[in-house]
């Protein structure tokens, strides 16, 4: 059976209780922002390509209230921060906010520092149902929830949704020190129930793609629960390799490059690694375009086939898979009724996403459990809404 995700009501009541316990009064603001799964288009965002994520029912929720202390008190109930789950910082001048310890608080501080205007001091409790560090973007959920909280607190709303996403991305770059792409924040801000989001990372154009009509099919997330081994250096190495390849071809980015350019790189005697990385990006951008077309035509077999090709390219050309992810993908593909399976997120651990017929969900889960020596967890990826302010009651 897939794991049942806590409902918004359950998470909210947990957060409100914790707020009263901690601060001795009731919170009067409640907001949330979702995690995401990317269906296809991996390692294409920083190459100005396409990505196709959907927002998940798993959310990060913040409750809070203004205080008169000139400093903010924030508590996260997440297990990953259990030893240092509370921190305080001054907000009298946004320019003086600096990253520091505990690390998780930098995501929050970065959003306050990047907010549109000064913010008054506040108390807040954070509760999340997004697995942390699993590639479902708990970090963007935390940033976007924080930013939405600040909008509710000040009454000042970000002009355009993309400005909000970009400010959150900057928080992750400058405060958490993670040079992430723009996909995670975009989908956490703009997710729409029943839709995946096609994002063009070159001009930030978006298109909502309905997937609610897929009725007999469903996307299943399998969390390998294997430790995330993608060090930021492995990520940066791949990113820099792509930038170098584009530069050698006199292009702004690999978005502008086609398969015929591979020949040009070969003539320049570049390392084989650069050929492989470039080939992945070119083919993955093309696959994402074809996948959207397939989805719009209701051709799920084609979508599944493209997912399989995406995984194989990530494994062989981009070299970001792992034994755990390959095992999960191979096991899923053995079931009749599974149309496609691939790693999702940056790789080296984290999750896979599988397109399958609804009536083989349990069979697939049982088969994966039998074949995988680790402890996998399963979630149905129902496309949900982006960040929002919730009623406090």
In the complex, which residues of this chain contact ligand ADP (CB under 6 A)? Answer: 60, 76, 78, 80-81, 103-104, 107, 126, 128, 132-139, 142
Q: Min. distance of Cβ 333 from ligand ADP in angstroms?
A: 24
Q: Min. distance of Cβ 82 from ligand ADP in angstroms?
A: 10
- Output the six-digit token pair for 73: 């008190």
- Which residues, 111 to 140, sit near Mg ion by CB under 5 A? 137, 139
Q: Min. distance of Cβ 85 from ligand ADP in angstroms?
A: 8
Nearest to 62 by CA among 137, 158, 189, 152: 152
Q: Min. distance of Cβ 173 from Mg ion in angstroms?
A: 12
Contacted by 132, from ligand ADP, Mg ion, none: CB < 5 to 8 Å by type: ligand ADP
**DSSP secondary structure letter of residue 45:** G
Rounded-to-integer distance, Cα 326 and Cα 268, Å: 33
Nearest to 288 by CA among 32, 57, 47: 47
- Output the six-digit token pair for 333: 């593909």
In the complex with Mg ion, the residue whose CB is nearer, 133 or 374, is 133
Contacted by 44, from ligand ADP, Mg ion, none: CB < 5 to 8 Å by type: none
In the complex with ligand ADP, the residue whose CB is nearer, 133 or 205, is 133
In the complex with ligand ADP, the residue whose CB is nearer, 106 or 288, is 106
Query: Closest-CB residue for Mg ion?
Result: 139
Is 184 annotated in the active site?
yes
Nearest to 74 by CA among 37, 120, 35, 121: 121
Q: Min. distance of Cβ 140 from Mg ion in angstroms?
A: 6
Rounded-to-integer distance, Cα 170 and Cα 163, Å: 10
| Residues, the chain | 393
In the complex with ligand ADP, the residue whose CB is nearer, 238 or 333, is 238
In the complex with Mg ion, the residue whose CB is nearer, 199 or 292, is 199
Contacted by 204, from Mg ion, ligand ADP, none: CB < 5 to 8 Å by type: none
Size of the site for Mg ion (CB under 5 A): 2
- Contact (Cβ atoms closer than 8 angstroms) between residue 221 and residue 353: yes
Q: How are strands ordered across the β-sheet holding 351-357?
A: 338-344, 351-357, 217-223, 377-380
Helix axis angle for 183-190 and 161-174, nearest 10°, is 140
Contacted by 210, from Mg ion, ligand ADP, none: CB < 5 to 8 Å by type: none
DSSP alpha helix (H) spans, the chain: 8-23, 105-114, 138-154, 161-174, 183-190, 232-248, 259-267, 272-297, 300-316, 323-333, 361-371
Rounded-to-integer distance, Cα 182 and Cα 204, Å: 9
Cα 13 versus chain centre, distance: 25
Q: Min. distance of Cβ 60 from ligand ADP in angstroms?
A: 5
Contacted by 126, from ligand ADP, Mg ion, none: CB < 5 to 8 Å by type: ligand ADP
In the complex with Mg ion, the residue whose CB is nearer, 139 or 288, is 139
Q: Min. distance of Cβ 344 from Mg ion in angstroms?
A: 12
Question: Residue 373, SS3?
Answer: coil
SS3 helix, strand, coil % of the chain, rounded to 5?
45, 20, 35
- Output the six-digit token pair for 115: 């907010």
Rounded-to-integer distance, Cα 89 and Cα 81, Å: 17
Contacted by 123, from Mg ion, ligand ADP, none: CB < 5 to 8 Å by type: none
Question: Binding to Mg ion by residue 85, rule CB under 5 A?
Answer: no
Contacted by 104, from Mg ion, ligand ADP, none: CB < 5 to 8 Å by type: ligand ADP
Out of 184, 240, 317, 391, the active site residue is 184
Instruction: Draw the binding track, 136-165, toward Mg ion (x: CB under 5 A; -: no contact).
Output: -x-x--------------------------
In the complex with ligand ADP, the residue whose CB is nearer, 39 or 356, is 39
- Contact (Cβ atoms closer than 8 angstroms) between residue 184 and residue 137: yes
Catalytic residues: 184
> Given the rule CB under 5 A, which residues bind Mg ion?
137, 139
């Amino acid at each position: 059976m897939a794991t049942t995700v806590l409902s918004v009501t359950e998470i909210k009541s947990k957060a409100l209780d914790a707020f009263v316990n901690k601060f001795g009064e009731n919170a009067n603001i409640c907001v949330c922002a979702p995690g995401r799964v990317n269906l296809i288009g991996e390692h294409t965002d920083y190459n100005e390509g396409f990505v196709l994520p959907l927002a998940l029912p798993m959310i990060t929720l913040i409750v809070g209230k203004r205080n008169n202390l000139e400093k903010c008190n924030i508590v996260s109930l997440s297990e990953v921060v259990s030893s240092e789950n509370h921190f305080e910082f001054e907000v009298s001048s946004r320019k003086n906010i600096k990253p520091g310890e505990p690390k998780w608080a930098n995501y929050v501080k970065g959003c306050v520092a990047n907010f549109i205007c000064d913010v008054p001091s506040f108390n807040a409790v954070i509760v999340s149902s997004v697995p942390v560090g699993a590639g479902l973007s708990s970090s963007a959920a935390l940033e976007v929830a924080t930013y939405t909280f600040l909008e509710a607190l000040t009454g000042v709303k970000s002009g355009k949704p993309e400005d909000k996403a970009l400010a959150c991305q900057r928080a992750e770059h400058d405060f958490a020190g993670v040079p992430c792409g723009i996909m995670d924040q975009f989908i956490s801000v703009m997710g729409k129930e029943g839709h995946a989001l096609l994002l063009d990372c070159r001009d930030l154009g978006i298109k909502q793609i309905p997937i609610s009509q897929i009725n007999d099919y469903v996307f299943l997330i399998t969390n390998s629960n294997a430790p995330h081994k993608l060090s930021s250096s492995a990520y940066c190495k791949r990113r820099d390799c792509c930038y170098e390849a584009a530069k050698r071809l006199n292009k702004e980015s690999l978005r502008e490059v086609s398969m015929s350019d591979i020949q040009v790189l070969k003539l320049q005697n570049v390392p084989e690694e650069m050929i492989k990385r470039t080939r992945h990006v070119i083919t993955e951008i093309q696959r994402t375009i074809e996948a959207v077309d397939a989805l719009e035509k209701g051709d799920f077999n084609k979508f599944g086939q493209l997912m399989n090709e995406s995984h194989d390219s990530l494994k062989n050309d981009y070299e970001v898979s792992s034994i755990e992810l390959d095992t999960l993908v191979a096991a899923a593909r053995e079931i009749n009724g599974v149309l496609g399976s691939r790693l999702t997120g940056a790789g080296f651990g984290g999750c896979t996403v599988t397109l399958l017929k609804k009536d083989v969900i349990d069979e697939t889960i049982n088969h994966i459990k039998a074949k995988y020596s680790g402890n996998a967890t399963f979630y149905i990826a129902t496309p949900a809404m982006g960040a929002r302010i919730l009623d406090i009651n």
